Structure 1
Amino acid sequence: MADHDKTLSTEVTVSAYYRVHPEDRRAFIDAVIPEMTAAQKMPGCVYYAFAQDLTDPNTFHLLEGWADQDAYENHEEAESFLSALSTVVKTVRILHREGVRYDIARMHIDDPRGKVS
């Protein structure tokens, strides 16, 4: 999370997953880490997390939160994003990918800890 944006609400979020060919896993990770680090520092980034699945080392999950549409679009046009995208498209065999962008109209804080006594 970008330190300067911890109090921002999230108006745009992205949820995606990628299953990559086992031989291309390292190339995928190497392309994503610099992009993830750069995105987390961008203005309007509320959170940006790319993580390897706990049960399948060839599956990766992406969750992004942006303060607004402009912040999201600035990320999509950033050199770090375009560089990572180019590397992945040209060198990584994506076996399956699904991604969805959501424009959030209303947020509710979800904290189920109160259900535990």
Structure 2
Amino acid sequence: MTRPAGRSGARRARCPRCAAPVLRQLVGRTAALSVVADAEQMSAAAAGALREPDRLDWCVYETRDGVDLRWASCHTRSTPCARRHAIDHQCIGPTPPADRLPAQRRTPKSSPVHPGQLTL
């Protein structure tokens, strides 16, 4: 998920499974994390209540290009964060049907050479 030149921030999209509106963005500069967050914004306290070990919340910055998600480091401060927050998306959509899952091989593939012979 690369960004076009000159554009930064989140792009609005829909979840492919449940069609909920989400924000997608690579957050970070060195080792970016691919984030899919709910488009609904909430207060820092509300996002903190929904936060779990594998579900993070993000500070939402409004820029001239649109919405920009950033690491929520405001939880360590004594004063509450005044910015809106977004929480990681947890999809509640149906699982994909079995015919869309990758097919598994039913019979093992036989080797074209004798078992004692080395192949390159």
Specify which structure has the bigger relative contact order, considering alpha-carbon pairs within 8 angstroms and separated by 6 or more residues. 1
The higher radius of gyration belongs to 2
Q: Greater share of helix residues, 1 or 2?
A: 1
TM over 0.5: no
TM tier relative to shorter chain: under 0.3
